[in-house]
Chains A and B, each alone.
Chain A
Amino acid sequence: MATDIQVQAQQIRRRVAPWVLVYRRKSEHLFFKLLMYLMLINIAFAFLLPIFYMTSTSLMTIQDYVDPAVYWIPTVFNWENFTLAYGGMNYTQAFKNSIIIALAATLGQVITCAMAGYGFARGEFPGRELLFGLVLFSFIVPPQTIIVPLFILYKNLNWIDTFWPFIIPAFFAQGLRGSILTIIYRQFFRGLPWELEDAARIDGAGPVRTFTHIMLPLAKPAIVVTFLFSLVWHWNDFYEPMMYLMKPERFTVPLRLQILYTSLNEMTGGQAGELYNEPLIMAACFLIVLPPLILYLFTQRHFVESVERTGLVG
């Protein structure tokens, strides 16, 4: 009898035990899950807050902005800030300049960096590692170090106040952070199986054809990532346009913002400028951020997926 009860108890315990475990694990799990959400929301908040702030402030009148009672939602939507910022930055012209530089340079970088990256990933030539070392080297050289000779070079070529200093280097896999793009492509192509090229070669495709017809279509994730990076970096770039563009009609959007800010600051006398022109400045900022933001909203899904498939760091 006693053994019978023991057996029964054991059976019950055996039946219940997993549930106890599951229950404990579940509550623990729930706790961690909540914690994770909390952290995620916190971080997301830190990233989104400036954008909210920018949007809400850009719609405020100065009265609203100074009024401590008005916190996030302005009493009246003051669209005038945008028209003022638009005119103040000479946005149509600046936008055109920015977009020409960004698109042309991006096109150049995407094509030539893909070629170079492929060469470094799959080429079989002596000195490959050494040359790739030079790619890494050019990544770590600060632009400040070579800016003076470059300026002299462009000056001698009569490229100052033209867009060539941005576009021509980009078509030689250089330009703004070109080395990073080359590295991304190299890592990507290294991850692709060799059999693809062997098959293409057996079918009689030359190296150029293999590259354009087999490898490039496969490299779509890498192309999406590098395209977006390059476009956004060129759009936001400030240092180089400031060096090479002197005439106001050649200025890019970020340069215009800087000028708008300083002139407003001077007009209102230093610190006051910051306070009274904040809505206007925020509207200007919004106009700068808007094009990349729209681009990102549309490409976001491809971008996030691509990042995962690029194996960016291989």
Chain B
Amino acid sequence: MAVGVQSAPKGAAKKKRRRGLRISLRQRRALHGYLFISLWVIGFLTFQAWPFIQSFWLSFNSVDMMAGFSLNWVGLDNYREAFFIDERFVPTLLQVMRDMAIDVPVIIVFALCTAYLVNQPLRGRTFFRAVFFLPVVIASGEVLQQLYPQLQETGNTLGSTATVTRGLDIPAIVYMYLPPNIAELLLNTLNRLTLILWRSGIQILLFLAGLQGISSSLYEAAKVDGASDWEVFWKITLPMLSPIFLVNIIYSIVDSFTDRFNPMLNLIRSAAFTGQFKLGYAAALGWVYFLVVFLILLVVIAVSSRWVFYAGERD
């Protein structure tokens, strides 16, 4: 809260500008603040807020692209079409949510373990760190798609040409012992496991930064009190990391919703830019999608306030 302490007494100072407008120091400071974010404000309004509102408006219209984007008010028709006529939208939405629910915990646990390992005083850890940041650098959606063809939406089943890198091949036995739904889910997850690992680069990085931010005096105090490594991990490391957990979970959720392999992405694009160019309909899909993402994040944040621990004087 350094901000409040700083500004309160100085704002009260009666210093005036010598020339030009007579504004208080506080106002001048505010002006400087606005100066720095002015570009962002312009950019936000033009490329984010305005399209966002427009998209909402478009979703109640049908757009005629040929006649210079003329709009026809259709009310809730686009939304009705999305939920009751389009046979692809609802299943895709459910699939995207299911994938997210599986991927995010896996990514978080994996990233935490990896960051924890890499943070240990081991020989060669610079090498391992360099390797673990690789996904951040070269995880190009297009390249990954070529490396892991089972992800292609066309359902290009490779079968016999399986090679070493095609993720994990699980024998058909799995199907025999498990109920079909669960087996399918499991296979699906295992198939994507390698890809999930590839998507956790940023998360590893954030966890690592967080681990290094924990003051060593805490660890020393715990050692003096006779805590074992195991206890230290659960009682000190994890609570201290909890804000980063939240950040990582939010990041992973957003990332999984905007991922290159996300089928929703293609669905919306194909609605807008193939065939009949149903821009209004695509906007409606986009809005439903946004609301789903937003609701999920709201739930996550609401739940997180119960377990996130903020050390020190965070505001």
List residues of A whose CB falls within 8 A of some B CB: 33, 36-37, 39-40, 43-44, 46-51, 53-54, 112-113, 115-116, 118-120, 122-126, 128, 131, 134-135, 138-153, 169, 171-175, 178, 182, 194, 207-208, 211, 228-229, 232, 235-236, 238-239, 242-243, 254, 257-258, 261, 271, 274-275, 281-282, 284-285, 288-289, 292-293, 295-296, 300-301, 303-304, 307-308, 310-314
Contacts and interface: CB of A to CB of B under 8 A. Distances in A.
A115 B294 contact: no
20 contacts: A51-B138, A53-B147, A112-B39, A125-B29, A125-B34, A126-B30, A141-B52, A142-B254, A147-B286, A149-B50, A149-B283, A169-B43, A172-B42, A172-B43, A182-B40, A207-B35, A208-B35, A235-B140, A296-B133, A313-B243
Interface stretch (B15-23, B80-88, B173-181, B207-215): B207-215
B218 interface: no
Interface in B201-234: 205-206, 208-210, 212-213
B58 A171 contact: no
A179 to B, nearest CB: 9
Interface string B20-62: 0000001001111111110111111011111110110010000
Closest 3 CB pairs of A and B: A123-B33, A172-B43, A119-B36
B156 to A, nearest CB: 7
Contacts of A174: 40, 43-44, 46-48
B162 to A, nearest CB: 11
Consensus secondary structure, chain A interface: helix
Nearest to A207: B32
Given A123-B37, A145-B286, A169-B47, A312 B136 contact: no
B197 interface: yes
B91 interface: no
B287 A145 contact: yes
Interface string B165-208: 10000000000000000000000000000100110000001101
Given A123-B32, A152-B69, A40 B117 contact: yes
Nearest to A229: B136
Contacts of B30: 123-126
Nearest to A152: B69
A308 B208 contact: yes
Nearest to A291: B138
Contacts of A144: 258, 264-265, 268-269, 285-286, 289
A274 B152 CA distance: 12
Contacts of A125: 29-31, 33-34
B63 to A, nearest CB: 8
Given A124-B33, A307-B205, A53 B156 contact: no
B33 A282 contact: no
